[in-house]
Amino acid sequence: MKPYRFALPLLALMSVPVVLTGCTDLSAQEKAKAEKQEEKAVDPMEARLAPVQVKAEELAPGVAVLFGAGGNMGVSHGEDGTVLIDDQFAPLTGKIQTAIADLGATPVKFLINTHWHHDHSGGNENFGKEGAVIMAHENVRVRMAKGSTVAGREVAPAPAIAQPVLTYKDGVKLHLNGDTVHIRHMPAAHTDGDSIVYWEKANVLHMGDLYFNKVTLPFIDINSGGNAVGMLEAANIALDMTNDDTKVIPGHGPMATKADLMAYRDMLAEVIDAVSVARDAGKSLTEIQAMKPAAAYDTNPNAFIKGGAFVEAIWKSLENSAK
């Protein structure tokens, strides 16, 4: 066998376009297939939130609450513009905007975050891009800029457009839409950056996650500077701002009254006191959890926070307060 039969010249090899064209076609097909797969790929959060409806309930002229998924939202609207309190998750922004428009309100001009958690600030980037002025306590900006861990989940730093551009230390007043809106910081409670929002004329109070109404025991984010003792103090301060006609927006759960908030405060005081007394008597965390001091209130089997976790948060709060 002659060797030259196996040594095709380079020009001869290049003159056979079938093989090369076939590879090119295959590559194009694979690329098109990959693009289609990417189009079909759905963000798990978007898929989970797809069925969610954002519903509005008017509380007073120009003031409403919005329910969706995540933290409850408040809305003030009128001739001075629209103010939104919290904004849930990014995939819900369009539905939130529609619900606001259905109230007869203009697009959001001011956005207030009651604290930094993603189920209350997840839509910040979207609203920031639309031109909303975002405001919150200064610790909210710090934590959003750094990122952190919440309930064992890593939260990445928020982009600059999603961070509050107007921050305060103790609080701020807004004179908008014929009302005076009091925004007041509650130190070291659910987190270290919580604010309550009170419409003076409308007599509506937004508590953020300082108040979980009938859906779970309180979540106290120790890692974000939260403290059960501060949670109790915040409830007392809020009660001093309310009367029997006040409409209370909890961070999670249905609308509430002053009586509901008072019952919540009493629950906090009772369980904190029980844990404190047992701790001072020398009992360990495990022993106190076995005592189940929150059992009377731990009635939702699907609650985010159960009795044992609540007791642990109180234990750590008392430990931190003693330092």
Indicate which CATH number applies to the domain containing 273: 3.60.15.10
Amino acid at 247: K
Q: Considering the domain boundaries, does residue 144 fall inside one?
A: yes
Output the pLDDT for position 10: 33
**What count of other Cβ atoms lies within 10 Å of the Cβ of residue 125?**
19
Which stretch of 45-49, 173-177, 198-202, 214-218 has the lowest confidence by average pLDDT? 45-49
Provide, for the chain, the percentages of residues in helix, strand and coil under a 3-state DSSP scheme, each rounded to the nearest 5.
Answer: 45, 20, 35
Q: Which two tokens stand for residue 10?
A: 């380079």
Can you give the pTM of this predicted structure?
0.86
Output the pLDDT for position 313: 98
What does the pLDDT look like over 171-211, one tens digit per residue?
999 999 999 999 999 999 999 999 999 999 999 999 999 99
Using the predicted structure, report yes or no on whether residue 280 has a pLDDT greater than 70. Answer: yes
Using the predicted structure, report yes or no on whether residue 253 has a pLDDT greater than 50. Answer: yes
Tell me the residue range of the domain where 189 lies: 45-321
Phi and psi torsions of 82, nearest 5°: -100, 130
Q: Considering the domain boundaries, does residue 158 fall inside one?
A: yes
Provide the number of structural domains found in the chain. Answer: 1
Using the predicted structure, report yes or no on whether residue 234 has a pLDDT greater than 60. Answer: yes
Output the pLDDT for position 11: 35
Q: Considering the domain boundaries, does residue 129 fall inside one?
A: yes
Contact 123, 88 (CB under 8 A): yes
Number of H helices, E strands in the chain: 11, 14
Q: Considering the domain boundaries, does residue 169 fall inside one?
A: yes
Q: Considering the domain boundaries, does residue 118 fall inside one?
A: yes
Contact 215, 259 (CB under 8 A): no
Q: Across residues 101-105, what is the average pLDDT?
A: 98
Contact 241, 204 (CB under 8 A): no
Q: Considering the domain boundaries, does residue 34 fall inside one?
A: no
- The 3 state secondary structure assigned to 61-128 is CCEEEEECCCCCEEEECCCCCEEEECCCCHHHHHHHHHHHHHCCCCCEEEEECCCCCHHHHCCHHHHH
What does the pLDDT look like over 291-320, one tens digit per residue?
999 999 999 999 999 999 999 999 999 999
The mean predicted confidence, pLDDT, of the chain is 91
CA-to-CA distance for 308 and 215, rounded, in angstroms? 16
Q: Considering the domain boundaries, does residue 33 fall inside one?
A: no
Q: Considering the domain boundaries, does residue 39 fall inside one?
A: no
Using the predicted structure, report yes or no on whether residue 323 has a pLDDT greater than 80. Answer: no
Q: pLDDT class for 34, splitting at 50, 70, 90?
A: low
6 vs 312, more confident: 312
Output the pLDDT for position 272: 98
